[in-house]
Structure 1
Amino acid sequence: MLVLLPPSEGKAPSSGGAPLKLEGLSLPALAGAREAVIGELVELCAGDEDKAREVLGLSEGLRGEIAKNAELLTAGARPAGQVYTGVLYDALDLAGLETAAKQRAARQLLIFSGLWGAVRVTDRIPSYRCSMGVKLPGIGALGTHWRTPMASALPEAADDGLVLDLRSSAYTAAWKPKGAVAGRTATVRVLHAPTRKVVSHFNKATKGRIVRSLLSAGIAPKGPAELVEALRDLGYVVEVEPPAGAGKAWTLDVLVDEVH
């Protein structure tokens, strides 16, 4: 099973440890694309701050994020699972998992990123600010930039197993499963049961809880149908929208009343 997660805007500060080693990141097929983005981002943020703030879509209060980006190659790195914070990652609580569940997380989780493309939770990265919606002056739209390298890297990472896609819409632009991989893919929407509407907090927190539940239970469904059974066994209320045809992803609606 491969679980695709969005990143978080909030990130823990860079550590005082060793800096980033691009060659040490997972998915080496993304190496060239990563070098291109990080090179342009560092140059942009080390130059005109006002231009960088405009390109990155940052408010005046987030000007400090520009300096953070300028130091990407020298700042201390830490595992990505410790860098990303926010509602989903608080609910996932990687640090609180038992050893076996942490090992499963290292194998099964991929976090999408405008800067890195995608990283595993054990990949060491510095804190940064660069969403997938950014359009860099030289490279252009990052969602488009990542499509070609992702087209080979992600099917290889998925192998012949289930893909559980929990990404937000901005990050689906970088890779959309096709063919046989799409047929093994399940996307999840979290709906507030009384209204049948997506509510941001419910959505993020419940997705974190779902991943934590699967990791803790040691459950690795082989396909979408098995995933539905597993989630229901774990106590989730799941409605299924059948795929439109062969080679199409499944859509699962998880209904929640409230999230504690």
Structure 2
Amino acid sequence: MSRRPLVLLPPSKGKADDGDGPVYGDVVAADTGPLGEARRRLLAAVVGDLDDLDDAALARVAGVGGAKVAQARALLAGLPGAPTLPAHLRYTGVVHGNAGLADITPRRAGAEVIVVSALAGLAAMGDAVPDYRLEFAATLPSLGGIAGWWREQAADELARRCRGRRVWDLLPAEHARIWTTEARSRVRGLVTVGFVRPDGRAANAARTKVCKGRLTAALLAAPDLDAPGLVTDVDPGDQWVLRLDGDDVLALCHV
């Protein structure tokens, strides 16, 4: 495996404001890549469906409380004209901050990072991303469930990007729905990192964020790490212990 390893992360609700890059409508209009048409369709669906979403439905789509519905609606309506930032600067959540993504140069980083995004499908760190509020588990009237729609559009492309490299899947269950079983089976170097309690139940999502960020930072700094090396050499942080689980890794939370 000669290519840089790949780390798969979820997005964050926390995002940097504004941006100095081209507006998102121009970005997707000029996108000739394998996901360009899907991104244009998703953007058109989001903007076009807003009038059909009452405040309760909009809150679910955007993942916000009632007090922020008007702000979220304006943000989504303005997406075509919204300025962009590279993804590594846009996402500012706990995972991304602890990973140090804002400090990397995407093309020179030890590992490539892709965020599974409700807006863009797969957002590489250099991709232009606007400020947005859109849930991967949401449903749009004209498109259906966003997760299932992106699975149809992007699973094969994700498998293609994973070819010939070690892939570290740190996705929560919601965003892991980007995979089809068939596409996932084609990825030979896949290492899934599960975050669990000692009894085997999924760990509280909020508690996993610092650990995910620390693991990502370690993989960026030491791209030659394999699963045994990650378990042996990397400190996952307080309250966490790493162990092998076959070819995969389990992060055990002791709280």
Give the TM interval when normalised to the shorter protein.
Answer: 0.7 to 0.9
**Contact 1:91-1:208 at 8 Å conserved across structures:** yes
User: 1:53: which partner in 2?
Assistant: 58
**Alignment partner, residue 156 of structure 1:** 160
Q: Answer whether contact 1:52 1:66 (CA < 8 A) is retained.
A: no
Q: Which amino acid aligns with 1:59?
A: G
Give the counterpart letter for 1:82 in structure 2.
L
Q: Which runs of 4 or more aligned residues in structure 1 lie more than 4 Å from their structure 2 counterparts after TM superposition?
A: 46-49, 191-197
3-state SS, counterpart of residue 46 of structure 2? helix
Task: Give me the whole-angstrom Cα distance separating, in 2, the residues matched to 1:89 and 1:175.
Answer: 22
Q: Deviations over 1:110-139 (max 9, x none)?
A: 000111101111111110011111110011
So what's the TM-score if we normalise by structure 2? 0.82
Secondary structure at 1:146 match in 2: helix
Match in the other structure for 1:252: 249
Q: Are 1:118 and 2:122 an aligned pair?
A: yes
Of 185, 202, 219, 1:179 maps to: 185
**Matching residue within 28, 42, 60 for 2:33:** 28
For residues 67 and 178 of structure 1, do their structure 2 counterparts lie closer, same or farther at Cα, with a shift above 3 Å needed? same
State the alpha-carbon separation in 2 of the partners of residues 86 and 145 from structure 1: 25
In the superposition, the TM-score normalised over structure 1's length comes to 0.81
CA distance in 2, matches of 1:50, 1:235: 44
Of 78, 82, 101, which aligns to 1:75?
82
- Call closer, same or farther: CA 1:234–1:55 in 2, change over 3 Å: closer
1:229 maps to 229
Give the residue type in structure 2 aligned to 1:198. A
| Shift of residue 18, structure 1, vs aligned partner | 2.5
Q: Equivalents in 2 of 1:125, 1:257: separation in Å?
A: 36
> Does the alignment pair 1:167 with 2:171?
yes
Q: Residues 153-198 of structure 1: CA distance to partner in whole angstroms, max 9, x if unpaired? A: 11211111111101111111121443241x4211112346799861
Q: Percent identity?
A: 26
1: CA distance between counterparts of 2:54 and 2:112?
A: 38
2:139 maps to which residue? 135
Contact kept in structure 2, 1:6 and 1:167, CA below 8 Å: yes
| CA distance in structure 2 between the partners assigned to 1:251 and 1:35 by the alignment | 36
Aligned residue pairs: how many?
Answer: 241
